[in-house]
């Protein structure tokens, strides 16, 4: 790879972004990374990046204070011009992933942020150096569809269960309009969990929250169907796939599901049975979700207090995911990643490693002793 590679990355301090930065630094030892990072209260973007990048690679990484939802991505005029003239790759993974974000706020981050990155990429392309754009979306732009969702599909008349799905759909629609003029690839991961080799994670959301309340015997009733499909992928697979496909010309102009797919997914029952055995808890009880949310939840909410009431309140965001009748086709992913030796492992191959890490860290509350 030419030594003049400069990769501009958004979302670099997030769960996936942190792993992606490390993969890129290792795989491309001559590349320089420009990370667009927001300052947080009490901690600058520079400090956040310095804490996650190996000391030996710090001279190849710069942290630039930025906010992609703002015009010119919130960069200074000088930094923006310098990046436009020097960027060879752009990887956009910054997003709000909250299910309950107000729609306008989610649009500001997910849609306006993507629009601003596309404007930057278009300028960089006109400057003559940009070689590719990788946009990290989500497989759940499929919304409330059922059946097999193909990578070539986007709009199929689906509804959306939350503002995250809706705004990521809107953002992907924007990206698709630009792929004729900008060499780029749309990447759609499903639910990202910890490292398949170590179980390590910095995010205990999505799958982890229902597992935690079940493992701690706070809640045993599942408002869903035991045969509902759960598509999860480990962060190491997604980071490796993003890093590879950003440089893979065969991927440009295409959409790729970074998912376990029908052959690598598991059902809620399969995951629950493994969790019951590992954490030594009783098997869950399954209740029709329509009955639960229409009848049982209002009654329980009126009489329960403390931790169980909080479970009822927080669990509403997960309602649709316990009764999902949807799977993600991975034909394009297999075509592109198969020859590179990159594949999503079956969730049951590494599930126990996730459980071990959760147990060792008390679900993220304490440092792990062996990682």
- Residue 291 confidence (pLDDT): 84
Tell how far CA 26 is from the center of its chain: 21
Residue by residue, pLDDT tens for the chain (371 residues) are 444 899 999 999 999 999 999 999 999 999 999 999 987 776 777 788 888 888 888 999 999 999 999 999 999 999 999 999 999 999 999 999 988 899 999 999 999 999 999 999 999 999 999 999 999 999 999 999 999 999 999 999 999 999 999 999 999 999 999 999 999 999 999 999 999 999 999 999 888 999 999 999 988 888 888 999 999 999 999 999 999 999 999 999 999 999 999 999 999 999 999 999 999 999 999 988 888 777 877 887 777 777 878 877 777 777 777 778 899 999 999 999 999 999 999 999 999 999 999 999 999 999 876 54
- Residue 246 confidence (pLDDT): 98
User: The pTM is what?
Assistant: 0.94
- Residue 369 confidence (pLDDT): 66
- Residue 78 confidence (pLDDT): 96
């Amino acid at each position: 790879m030419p030594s003049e590679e400069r990769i501009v990355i958004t979302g670099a301090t997030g769960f996936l972004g942190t792993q992606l930065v490390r993969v890129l630094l290792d795989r491309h030892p001559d590349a320089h990374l420009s990370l667009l990072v927001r300052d947080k209260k009490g901690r600058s973007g520079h400090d956040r990046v310095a804490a996650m990048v190996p000391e030996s690679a710090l001279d190849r990484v710069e942290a630039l204070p930025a906010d992609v939802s703002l015009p010119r991505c919130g960069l200074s005029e000088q930094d923006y011009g310098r990046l436009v003239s020097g960027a060879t790759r752009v990887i956009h993974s910054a997003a709000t992933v909250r299910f309950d974000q107000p729609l306008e706020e989610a649009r500001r981050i997910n849609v306006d942020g993507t629009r601003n990155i596309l404007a930057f990429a278009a300028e960089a392309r006109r400057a003559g150096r940009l070689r590719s754009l990788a946009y990290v979306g989500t497989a759940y732009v499929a919304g409330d569809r059922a059946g097999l969702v193909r990578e070539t599909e986007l709009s199929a008349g689906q509804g959306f269960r939350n503002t995250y799905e809706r705004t990521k759909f809107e953002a992907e629609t924007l990206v698709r309009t630009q792929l004729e003029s900008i060499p780029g690839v749309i990447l759609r991961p499903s639910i990202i969990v910890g490292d398949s080799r170590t179980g390590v994670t910095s995010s205990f959301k999505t799958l982890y929250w229902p597992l935690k309340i079940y493992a701690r015997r706070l809640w045993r009733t599942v408002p869903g169907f035991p045969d509902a499909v759960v598509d999860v992928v480990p962060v190491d697979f997604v980071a490796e796939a993003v890093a590879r496909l950003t440089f893979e010309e065969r991927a440009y102009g295409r959409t790729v599901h970074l998912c376990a797919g029908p052959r690598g997914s598991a059902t809620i029952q399969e995951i629950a049975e493994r969790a019951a055995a590992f954490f030594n808890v009783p098997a869950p009880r399954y209740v029709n979700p329509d009955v639960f949310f229409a009848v049982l939840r209002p009654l329980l909410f009126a009489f329960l207090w403390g931790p169980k009431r909080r479970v009822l309140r927080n669990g509403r965001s997960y309602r649709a995911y316990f009764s999902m009748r949807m799977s993600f086709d991975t034909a394009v992913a297999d075509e592109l990643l198969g020859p590179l030796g990159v594949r999503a492992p079956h969730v049951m191959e590494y599930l126990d490693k996730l459980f071990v890490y959760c147990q060792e860290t008390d679900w993220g509350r304490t440092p792990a002793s062996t990682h």
